[in-house]
Amino acid sequence: MQEHPTAVLLLSCPDRPGLVAAVAEFVFRHGGNILHAEQHTDTDEQIFFQRVEFALDGFTLARDEIPEAFAELVNRFGMRFQLRFSDDVARIAILMSRAPHCTYDLLARWRVGELRADIPIVISNHPDHADVAAHFGVAYHHLPVAPETKTEQERTMLALLAEHDVDLVVLARYMQILGPDFVASYPDAIVNIHHSFLPAFAGSRPYHQAHQRGVKIVGVTAHYVTAELDQGPIIDQDVVRVSHRDGVEDLVRKGRDLEKVVLARAVLAHLESRVLVYGNKTVVFG
């Protein structure tokens, strides 16, 4: 249990004077101290975004009373909002295929306490890495996918995720394309790592495509999964320099290091309620 838990309000609404004052006054009136507040206004679309984190020590409302008390502002400003608490423990499912590097990386981060989450389950379309999950004390489900079994297997997956009460699905180099039903079940809650600097080299074998084009830098992209392949809102990206000396296998190797780090950064941002999706973009607070 955290010693000094905090509450995080993530909100968006049409921009209007008085918003910042109203939210800050709400927190202050109920005895909260704002520890972090960040806001952004999309001036083209006239949308206001804010993340406000305040101490629960001394806050006079019980956690479950906050939404009702906040409702007045929600209505006045036409807000969409999420409320989370720093001691919430999200439940993550990892989906993986043959390459285990992202899975190892996430599980090792979890073990050292870097991720405030539980990881009850790893699902893979390959049987290879059951021992990895076992080492970290996580259930491993092998669900092989073939064209004719895909719909069925995704239904099984959804049942497993429900059973394990999963909030966030992390595609740790899961090489199957998820169907629309699956994607619709976890809106803004499936994070994928694509091994290219999107929108360059969407689709399959991006390192081959990059090598073919002779680029001097390769990148990776963490994004939320939407119905359209590799087109979801981007959470984070990073790149590494390559040269003519690097063959495809070198790009793959260099890319792996990026994939691990960028996927982990995206998962962390999600877990800390720092990401707001709007349209096909994200606001990622610092």
Placement of tokens 């994070």 in the chain? 191
Residue 29 neighbours by CB under 8 Å, 6+ apart: none
Contacts with its own copies in 33-92 (CB under 8 A)?
33-44, 58
**CA-to-CA distance for 232 and 183, rounded, in angstroms?**
11
Q: Does 215 bind its own copies (CB under 8 A)?
A: yes
Q: Does 239 bind its own copies (CB under 8 A)?
A: yes
Stretch that binds its own copies, among 77-85, 149-157, 182-190, 244-252 (CB under 8 A): 244-252
The minimum distance between CB 226 and its own copies, in angstroms, equals 12
Rule CB under 8 A: choose which of 86, 104, 158, 189 binds its own copies.
104
- 155 vs 216, beta carbon nearer its own copies: 216
Decide if 88 is catalytic. Answer: no
Q: Residues 184, 169: contact at Cβ < 8 Å?
A: no
Instruction: Give the closest residue to 83 by CA, choosing from 49, 53, 127.
Output: 53
**b/e code 6-17 from CB counts within 10 Å (16+ = b):** bbbbbbbbebee
Query: Angle at Cα 143 formed by Cα 188 and Cα 141, nearest 5°?
Result: 85
Contacts with its own copies in 137-196 (CB under 8 A)?
none
Q: Does 199 bind its own copies (CB under 8 A)?
A: yes
Token representation of residue 32: 């909260």
The minimum distance between CB 281 and its own copies, in angstroms, equals 3
- 145 vs 269, beta carbon nearer its own copies: 269
- 2 vs 280, beta carbon nearer its own copies: 280
Q: Does 206 bind its own copies (CB under 8 A)?
A: no
Catalytic residues: 230
